[in-house]
């Protein structure tokens, strides 16, 4: 039986195990969206993962969702990431940058202008701003002629990511952000070629992925999806049909992987596993669940055909998560209050397991 500790070939990368560090927002970037030495240390501490997927990185200023997040759309930002990728590689790791366009999940106080989305429909809930949580604003609906520019933004950021030393990129197509908004049947009310039918609703995701593959190659391009996730008020009709059609259009691009979250029923997810001919990363937990992924969850999805398993919250408090899982050691508990507080406390201060005589 396949285990978490078997090696795996992912595109041009040889992964020593099948444990993936999932992307998690930590809002520790410096002013101007720059990566920092602390971020380099944070990812280096976790370099024993088979693959690290970074926190969401905005591909443009208008694509920024939260304050304090890093970017990949200026030369200075690109240069700042070199310390991160070098630290991971020196410590034997591999790292993809997650490219995340927030779309309507943003605020003028954060980006200096009105956020954009497929339609003028606000997200559900409060968004983070420099002044604290505020109600999500009504976004400006993108004109048809503008949409390709935002699809290309993923590719532009991917070029910068590879130039900064990342091994590849993951397009954030999940959790109610821009790609997810286009897939939606309530955030996307368009009547042009980017809306309406299943073929219209998947078009933006396919164009963003195709542009990125053209820019950096399929072996360096993955995508994360949350079928039926319902996050930020996004609703999707016909989830099995929608995602089967999307995977069918993505398959010829030769992507490195598809990264699914367990945001819908297991029957649907296993159907998508059968439909996807390439590598599948499975995250056994929905972002809306409070518990963390454990070894039993990982083994379950490996038996169901997943190739790699991503762990989120467990990696925050356990930088040596792979060794703890391998040796059956207890996992440390995370301090939820430190997720977004900034600084090194609750970021670099979780130690490796301390053995006692």
The secondary structure of 142-170, three-state, reads CCHHHHHHHHHHHHHHHHHHHHCCCCEEE
Q: What does the pLDDT read at residue 233?
A: 95
Residue 340 has what DSSP assignment?
S
Contact yes or no for 207/150 (Cβ under 8 A): no
Q: What does the pLDDT read at residue 229?
A: 92
Q: What does the pLDDT read at residue 107?
A: 98
Residue with tokens 């497929």: 118
| DSSP string for 289-313 | --SPP-HHHHHHHHHTT-SEEEESH
Q: What does the pLDDT read at residue 356?
A: 64
Strand 8-10 and strand 168-173: pairing?
unpaired
CA atoms within 13 A on the CB side of 264: 23
φ, ψ dihedrals at 282, nearest 5°: -115, 130
Quick one: how many helices (H) and strands (E) in the chain? 11, 14
Q: What does the pLDDT read at residue 104?
A: 98
CA 169 to chain centre: 9
257 belongs to the catalytic site? no
Q: How many CB atoms lie within 10 A of CB 290?
A: 7
Among the listed residues 42, 43, 154, 177, the single catalytic one is 177
Q: What does the pLDDT read at residue 265?
A: 94
Q: What does the pLDDT read at residue 125?
A: 96
| DSSP string for 11-75 | TTEEESSSEEEPP-----PBTTTB--HHHHHHHHHTTTSSEEEEEEEBSSSTT--STT--BSSSH
**Domain residue ranges of the chain, discontinuous segments joined by +:** 8-338
Closest CA to 62 of 112, 1, 127: 112
**Successive 10-residue mean pLDDT values, the chain, 357 residues:** 96 97 97 98 98 98 98 98 98 98 98 98 97 97 98 98 98 98 98 97 98 98 96 95 98 98 96 97 82 87 97 96 96 87 92 80
Report d(CA 179, CA 168) in Å as an integer.
19
Q: What does the pLDDT read at residue 357?
A: 55
Overall fold of domain 8-338: TIM Barrel (3.20.20)
Residue 258 has what DSSP assignment?
E
């Amino acid at each position: 039986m396949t285990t978490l500790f078997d090696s795996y070939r992912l595109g041009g990368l040889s992964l020593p195990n099948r444990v993936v560090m999932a992307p998690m927002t930590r809002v520790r970037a410096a002013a101007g969206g720059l990566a920092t030495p602390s971020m380099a240390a944070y990812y280096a501490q976790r370099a024993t993962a088979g693959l690290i997927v970074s926190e969401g990185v905005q591909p443009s200023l208008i694509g920024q969702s939260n304050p304090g997040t890093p970017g990949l759309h200026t030369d200075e930002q690109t240069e700042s990431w070199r310390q991160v990728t070098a630290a991971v590689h020196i410590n034997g790791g591999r790292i993809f940058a997650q490219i995340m366009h927030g779309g309507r999940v943003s605020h003028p106080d954060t980006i200096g202008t009105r956020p954009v989305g497929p339609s003028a429909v606000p997200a559900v809930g409060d968004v983070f701003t420099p002044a604290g949580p505020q109600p999500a604003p009504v976004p400006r609906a993108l004109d048809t002629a503008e949409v390709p520019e935002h699809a290309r933004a993923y590719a532009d950021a991917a070029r910068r990511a590879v130039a900064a030393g990342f091994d590849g990129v993951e397009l954030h197509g999940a959790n109610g952000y821009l790609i997810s908004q286009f897939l939606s049947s309530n955030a996307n009310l368009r009547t042009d070629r980017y809306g309406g039918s299943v073929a219209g609703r998947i078009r933006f995701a396919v164009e963003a992925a195709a542009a990125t593959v053209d820019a950096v190659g399929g072996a360096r391009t993955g995508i994360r999806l949350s079928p039926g996730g319902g996050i930020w008020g996004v609703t999707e009709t016909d989830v099995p049909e929608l995602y089967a059609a999307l995977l069918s259009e993505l398959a010829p691009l030769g992507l490195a992987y598809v990264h699914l979250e367990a945001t819908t029923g297991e029957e649907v997810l296993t159907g998508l596993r059968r439909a996807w001919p390439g590598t599948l990363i499975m995250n056994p937990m929905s972002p809306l669940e409070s518990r963390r992924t454990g070894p039993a969850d990982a083994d379950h999805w490996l038996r169901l055909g997943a190739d790699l398993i991503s762990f989120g919250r467990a990696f925050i408090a356990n930088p040596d998560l792979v060794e703890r899982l391998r040796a059956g050691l207890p996992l440390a508990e995370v301090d939820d209050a430190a997720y977004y507080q900034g600084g090194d406390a609750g970021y670099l201060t979780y130690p490796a397991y301390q053995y006692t005589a």
